[in-house]
Amino acid sequence: MILREAVRVLVNNWDGGHTVPSRRLYPHQWSWDSAFIAIGNARLSPRRARTELLSLFGAQWHDGRVPHIVFNPQVPEAAYFPGPAFWGVRAPSGSATSGIVQPPVHALAAWKTYEADPDLGFLHRLYPRLVAQQEFLRAHRRGRDGLISIVHPWESGMDNSPAWDEPLRHVETANVGFVRKDLDAICADERPTDDDYERYIALALAYRESGYLDAGDFQIEDPLFNVAYAVAEHALARIAHELGLDPEPHEREAAAMTAALTHQLFDGALFQPRDARTGRLIRSASVAGLTPLLLPGLPGKVADTLIDTALDLFSLKDGLLPSYSPAAAGFDAARYWRGPSWINLDWLVWQGLKDRRPELATGLADGMLCAAAHAGLREYFDPATGRGHGSRDFSWSAALVLDLVAEHGMKSVPAAGRDIGQELRCFGEADHVADRVADQVPA
């Protein structure tokens, strides 16, 4: 039963202060994973959701950046590459971390955690750190048109998307060595290629050698990253209001980013990444281009066009959104971010559809839950068949299934499962999440 499985995965992947994405492939704490995991854990144990976010921000750098990996010192260096020795940096807390970032979805996670169980002390602790995260991006990554750049494909969260093929061709890879630990756990056909990894490591090395200051050969204004930034400002406005602070600066910042995205990255059908060095749009067919549907200030005509694109290029009515359009060159239904459906990206688009086209949102939610129920809580799914790929027992898949069931319900499960879905809507705090497994989830 999928709800029991979701709770089991989150319990088993908990490491005392954070949740690993998966035990074998991703044995440390990942930044945007922790945000999505907190959203689901807020339905189960808000205390654990708060701990997840506070643990991550405990490794925030002095400049405000939140590193994309916080390394667990109990995990051997050889268990993951590139590990702490490669990055060679520590946060002020002493934690070994990476030097790059990921989409700033954390303020949204903090707000949803607070909604599930209002705790002003939690907001007081996290709000200044969330603000510092945004300030880092404004100070170090913002271009003249108001958009934020990423400096590595890993910062997009969509590592090997075909959208990055063109800019990666210009990355020099001479004398780059690397170890593919991922292939010990996952079939090579479902992962980035060696050629991809050569470029990833070359970019990371160059960024490390710059002291994590210079952008290098990869400077991309990514729609998803900038949408996450704007969504964070909307969430920070709500948090500021709860804390008795002025929300207006956050709302102005969100509106400015929405305008910049619309004016600079919308090509008439889809939002596209832009090379910040040349100013040219990178023509692609990535699901990231649909995520501006999350923005409440998006012009209605633009939103309607995006929905038409989702129906035409991404087969939205089929139940799952591919990470890249099947109609576009470069699509691969099984290879990581080149086509498979990921629950976190589908969840973001679902959030953007709920108020605009609720019937389409319902179909997308049903598609995600059906895939998870039939294939298990996999890392990603074939968008046409629902077959699972990548890691098993994947934490954000489990977490967002809990959130979906709590808010949307689940028509494809037995009545007992639907009853649990109703209970998830009003879960209180538990001292031990394991107690919830025994008490609330039937065998």
The model's pLDDT over 37-46, given as tens digits with 9 standing for 90+, comes to 999 999 999 9
Is pLDDT above 70 for 422? no
3-state secondary structure of 288: helix
Catalytic-residue membership of 159: yes
Q: What's the average model confidence in pLDDT over 165-171?
A: 96
Is pLDDT above 70 for 415? no
- DSSP element (H, E) containing 388: strand 388-389
Packed helices 31-44 and 106-116: angle between N→C axes, nearest 10 degrees: 10
Is pLDDT above 50 for 321? yes
- Which tokens is 199 given? 């470029």
Is pLDDT above 80 for 417? no
Sketch the domain layout of the chain as residue ranges. 2-440
| Predicted pLDDT of residue 181 | 84
| Predicted pLDDT of residue 436 | 36
Q: What's the average model confidence in pLDDT over 135-155?
A: 98
The DSSP letter of residue 275 is: E
Whether the Cβ atoms of residue 420 and residue 440 lie closer than 8 Å to each other: yes
Distance from the Cα of residue 443 to its chain's centroid: 31
Q: Give CA–CA dist 421/355, Å, rounded.
A: 21
11 Cβ contact list (under 8 Å, min separation 6): 433, 434, 437
pTM of the model as a whole: 0.93
| Predicted pLDDT of residue 426 | 43
Which residue among the candidates 5, 159, 182, 221 is catalytic per the annotation?
A: 159
Tens of pLDDT, residue by residue over 21-37, are: 999 999 999 999 999 99
3-state secondary structure of 81: coil
| Predicted pLDDT of residue 215 | 78
| Predicted pLDDT of residue 410 | 65
Is pLDDT above 80 for 327? yes
Whether the Cβ atoms of residue 302 and residue 292 lie closer than 8 Å to each other: yes
Packed helices 358-375 and 2-12: angle between N→C axes, nearest 10 degrees: 70
| Predicted pLDDT of residue 123 | 99
Nearest in space to 223 (alpha carbons), one of 161, 170, 315? 161
Look-up: residue for tokens 């907190």?
38
Which residue among the candidates 221, 251, 253, 379 is catalytic per the annotation?
A: 379
Whether the Cβ atoms of residue 310 and residue 316 lie closer than 8 Å to each other: yes
Q: Give CA–CA dist 436/438, Å, rounded.
A: 5
Q: Give CA–CA dist 401/395, Å, rounded.
A: 10
- Which tokens is 251 given? 């709302």
Q: What's the average model confidence in pLDDT over 148-165?
A: 99
| Predicted pLDDT of residue 411 | 60
Q: Give CA–CA dist 139/117, Å, rounded.
A: 33
- Which tokens is 106 given? 């954390």
User: What does each C-alpha distance from 215 to 77, 143, 225, 400 come to in angstroms?
Assistant: 27, 12, 16, 33
Percent of the chain past pLDDT 90, that is, above it, reads 87
Whether the Cβ atoms of residue 218 and residue 147 lie closer than 8 Å to each other: no
In CATH terms, 2-440 corresponds, of 1.20.58.340, 3.40.50.720, 3.40.640.10, 1.50.10.10, to 1.50.10.10
Q: What's the chain's average pLDDT?
A: 93
Q: Give CA–CA dist 228/110, Å, rounded.
A: 13
Q: What's the average model confidence in pLDDT over 100-107?
A: 99
267 pLDDT band (50/70/90 cuts)? very high
Lowest pLDDT segment from 154-168, 174-188, 257-271, 275-289: 174-188
Tens of pLDDT, residue by residue over 206-242, are: 999 999 998 789 999 999 999 999 999 999 999 999 9
Look-up: residue for tokens 């035990």?
23
| Predicted pLDDT of residue 178 | 86
| Predicted pLDDT of residue 235 | 99
> What string of H, E and C letters represents the secondary structure of 292-328?
HHHCCCCCHHHHHHHHHHHHHCCCHHHCCCCCECCCC
Is pLDDT above 80 for 279? yes
134 pLDDT band (50/70/90 cuts)? very high
Is pLDDT above 70 for 97? yes
Catalytic-residue membership of 77: no
10 Å Cβ neighbour count for 379?
Answer: 24
Whether the Cβ atoms of residue 388 and residue 344 lie closer than 8 Å to each other: no
Lowest pLDDT segment from 175-184, 266-275, 283-292, 424-433: 424-433
Q: What's the average model confidence in pLDDT over 149-155?
A: 99
414 pLDDT band (50/70/90 cuts)? very low
420 pLDDT band (50/70/90 cuts)? very low
